[in-house]
Amino acid sequence: MMRRVTAAALVALAVLAGAASADDDKPWPGPPACSGVSERIPVPPRGAPRRGVRVWVQCNFAVDHLTIRGNRELSRVGARARLYRPDGGDSLACRKRAPRRANCRGAVGQDARIAVRLVLTKPVCTGAGPWFVVSVRGGIDCDDGLACPSIGYLYSLKTAPLTC
């Protein structure tokens, strides 16, 4: 009797170990986390005041929606976010939604770096330094490269004020 119980336990452990090893090639992202920073765009068009800002965001989960709010009014928002280390087919379309808010929607895999270009109505170095609050929505990166709909994450971060 003891041998049967031990044999059944060993078979169960082998099945569980086989299931666990099938997912070992995909790292668990851990708790949802993002990092972000903003920077002045170094070279404006000829003769124009420096009004360009780039907001960088990187998350350890797949992103499908990004909102950027700031303390300065926006003139324009780049139509497409630039992606670094994207999965195949990743894209993020952005647009201005309010005087101080931009939204981006699409699908970006985990650990891809996202760069959104913003143009302020006033030069960066006038008044208080611009800062941005970034809200990110997404989920665990599924096999098809999209955020899993059943497990959602919402993360918010604030960038440090830009200095001149």
* Residue 62: count of CB within 10 angstroms of its CB: 24
Is 79 domain-assigned? yes
5 or 50: which leads in pLDDT: 50
Residue 64 covered by a domain:
yes
Q: What's the pLDDT score for residue 55?
A: 95
Q: Summarize pLDDT for 39-57 with one digit per residue, the tens.
A: 988 666 666 678 899 999 9
pLDDT digits (tens, 9 = 90+) for 115-128: 999 999 988 888 88
How many domains are contained in the chain? 1
Q: Evaluate whether residue 154 is within a structural domain.
A: yes
Residue 93 inside a domain? The answer is: yes
The reply to whether 69 falls in a domain is yes
Q: What percent of the chain has pLDDT over 90?
A: 46
pLDDT at 92: 95
Domain that holds residue 107: 38-158
The answer to whether residue 55 sits within a structural domain is yes
Q: What is the pLDDT of residue 59?
A: 92
- Output the pTM of the full model: 0.75
- Cα 97–chain centre separation: 19
**CATH code for the domain of 72:** 2.60.40
How would you label 72-93 residue by residue, b for 16+ Cβ within 10 Å and e otherwise?
bebeebbeebebeebbeebebe
